[in-house]
Amino acid sequence: MTTLYSQILAQIEAGQPCKLISRYDPAGITRQLENMPEDAPLADGLQFTQSADGLQLAEYFLPNPRLVILGGGHISVPLCQFAAALGFQVWVYDDRPAFANPDRFPTAHTVLCDDFSHMGDRLAIRRNDYIAILTRGHRHDIQCLEALMTGLHPRYVGMVGSKRRIAIVKEQAATQIGVGDPLLDNLYAPIGLPIGSVTPEEIALSIIAEMVQVKRLGPKGDAKKASYEDAVDMNLFRFLAANPPVGIALATIVSTRGSTPREAGAKMAVTATGEIIGSMGGGCTEADVIRRARVLLDQGGYCLMEVDLTDAAEEDGMVCGGVMTVLIEILDKGDMYAV
């Protein structure tokens, strides 16, 4: 039978955002899973409220950001490897069978071989996509830009090439497609941070570093708090989806104050057999949560726990010294199989 976490995992991997609402009261725990439109505004990835009636936790689960690599040349191979290691779902697109094949890109989620003029129809560009235009010629660059300008504008679009080639592509794109499109104005070109890169691996490193900069700091470089989607541990979700909800305590950071090792939304599972999946940040923080989770495994139910790192930070010279509120609950097959 399908559990809620297997449903959530399936939706995340299919690119569909969803929201899980969990309500905690003396009678027990009830949960409700809701689909969300892809362009739904998500001001806060996690909302936690307390009242006389109990607790409520609303969690928004977003798909991992997708990196679409247009062109399967030498730079694309290390870029695919680096991006996959950093949690991007990587799609590679090229019109040459020798370059667009899964053996060349073993860490890619999807590899497509088709003409670049069909790219828009084959990929269904999403708002949270990252696009790297690494084709072998400016004609293909313009085809890619034309497709990207007809639908949702992705979060990041970068294009490789010399300043001369980029100027030619922009001029022709403006003539063929239209002047004043925000995508052309916000194009990252030349692609990548200026680190003096020369080799394909170094260029790929500069590209993925620029994408991480946009992801963490925004397109204008304005520092922001790490978003809730960054806290989702896909290995933990796969564990929860694959195992029956019996003998598992799930800890979730529901709020933080000050500098903490993990942000709200981070999760950790503790099993009755002693297995630990995920992390609360390590050290004494994690040990305290694990001890409370093991007690709760014997008692059942749920509890709120405040973890204050201030004293430990001062004594041990730790960088983080804030306060975390952690919700620990015993997963029950009754509420986890609810729809």
pLDDT tens-digit profile, the chain (339 residues): 688 999 998 888 777 888 999 999 988 899 999 988 766 655 457 899 999 889 999 998 887 789 999 999 999 999 999 999 998 999 999 999 999 999 999 999 999 999 998 988 899 888 889 999 999 988 899 888 888 877 778 999 999 988 888 888 888 877 766 656 778 888 999 999 999 999 999 999 999 999 999 988 887 665 554 455 555 677 898 899 998 888 999 999 999 998 888 888 889 999 999 999 998 887 777 899 999 999 999 998 899 999 988 765 444 444 556 899 999 999 988 778 754
Measured at the alpha carbon of residue 71, what is the angle toward residues 136 and 88, in degrees to the nearest 5? 150
Sheet holding 130-133: strands in order across? 110-113, 89-94, 66-70, 130-133, 156-159
Asked if 116 contacts 146 with a C-beta cutoff of 8 angstroms, the reply is no
* C-alpha–C-alpha distance, residues 46 and 20, integer Å: 10
Of the candidates 138, 194, 192, 198, which has an alpha carbon nearest to the alpha carbon of residue 169? 138
Asked if 335 contacts 310 with a C-beta cutoff of 8 angstroms, the reply is no
* C-alpha–C-alpha distance, residues 275 and 244, integer Å: 15
pTM over 0.75: no
* C-alpha–C-alpha distance, residues 266 and 268, integer Å: 7
* C-alpha–C-alpha distance, residues 74 and 201, integer Å: 9
